[in-house]
Structure 1
C-alpha cells in the first residue's frame, strides 16, 4: 500500500496486525501465568505459615517449641516476600509489555500522520509555518 492510498482497515485491525508482526508474546502465556499463580500461592501460604507460627509460639510454655515456631514464622515471612516479588514482577511484565507495544503503535501512527502532512504540504511557500 502506498502512502497516498486510503486505508480500508480500522485502527484496531492495524494494531492487532502490527502486534502480530512484532511477535510480542501474549502476556497470558502459560509460563507467565504459572509464575503469577505461584507468586500468589506463595504469598498466601507464607501468611498462613506465619499466622500458624504465631499460635504455636503463644500456646506453649516450652522454649524449644517456641523457637521452632519463631523459625516457622520467619520462613513464612520470607515466603510471603518472595511470593509478592514474583507476583509483582510477572503482573507488571505483562502490563508493561502491552504498554510498550501500544506506545510503539502510537508513535508509528504519529509518524504516518506527519509524513502525510509533509506530502500534502504546499512547497510554494505561500502558506504559514506550522505551529
Structure 2
C-alpha cells in the first residue's frame, strides 16, 4: 500500500465529486474576456459620443446612440463575467479551507488522534 499525500487524496476526492479542474484554463479565458469587454464598453461609448457631436445629421446621431448603448451593454456583461470568474477562485479556496477546518474540529472534539485530511470514517468508541 503506497502512502499518498493530502494533495493527492484531495485531488481524488475532487474527481469523485465531479468538480471541474480549475487548471483547465476556461476560467482564466472567461476572466480575461470579461476584462476586455469591461474596457471595450466605455471606449465604444466614448467613440459614439464623439461621433454624435461631430455631425448634425440626425441619422448618424441615432446610429451613435445605438453604438453607445451597445457599449454600455458590453460593460455590464464584462463586469458580470469578471465578477463571476474572479469570485470562483476565492470561493473554491474558501470551500477547501472550510472542509479542512471542519475535519480538524471533528478530530479535536472526538478526542482521537488527528486524522489526515480526507479520511472517511467515524472514530470507534
- TM-score, normalized by length of structure 1? 0.71
Distance 1:110 1:21, change over 3 A: farther
Among 85, 89, 93, which residue is 2:84 paired with? 89
Query: What number of residue pairs does the alignment pair up?
Result: 105
Distance 1:113 1:18, change over 3 A: farther
State the Cα distance separating 1:22 from its structure 2 match.
Answer: 2.7
Are positions 1:22 and 2:13 aligned together? yes
Q: Which is worse superposed, 44-53 or 24-33?
A: 24-33
Distance 1:72 1:79, change over 3 A: same
Structure 2 gaps, min length 5? 114-125
Are positions 1:42 and 2:37 aligned together? yes
State the Cα distance separating 1:29 from its structure 2 match.
Answer: 3.4
State the Cα distance separating 1:114 from its structure 2 match.
Answer: 1.4
Q: Give the RMSD, CA atoms, in angstroms.
A: 1.9
Distance 1:28 1:50, change over 3 A: farther
Rounded to whole Å, the distance in 2 between the matches of 1:22 and 1:51 is 50
* Residues 101-120 of structure 1 aligned to structure 2 (within 5 Å): 101-115=96-110, 117=111
State the Cα distance separating 1:42 from its structure 2 match.
Answer: 1.0
Structure 1 gaps, min length 5? 1-12, 120-131
State the Cα distance separating 1:21 from its structure 2 match.
Answer: 3.3
Among 55, 61, 66, which residue is 2:61 paired with? 66
- TM-score, normalized by length of structure 2? 0.74
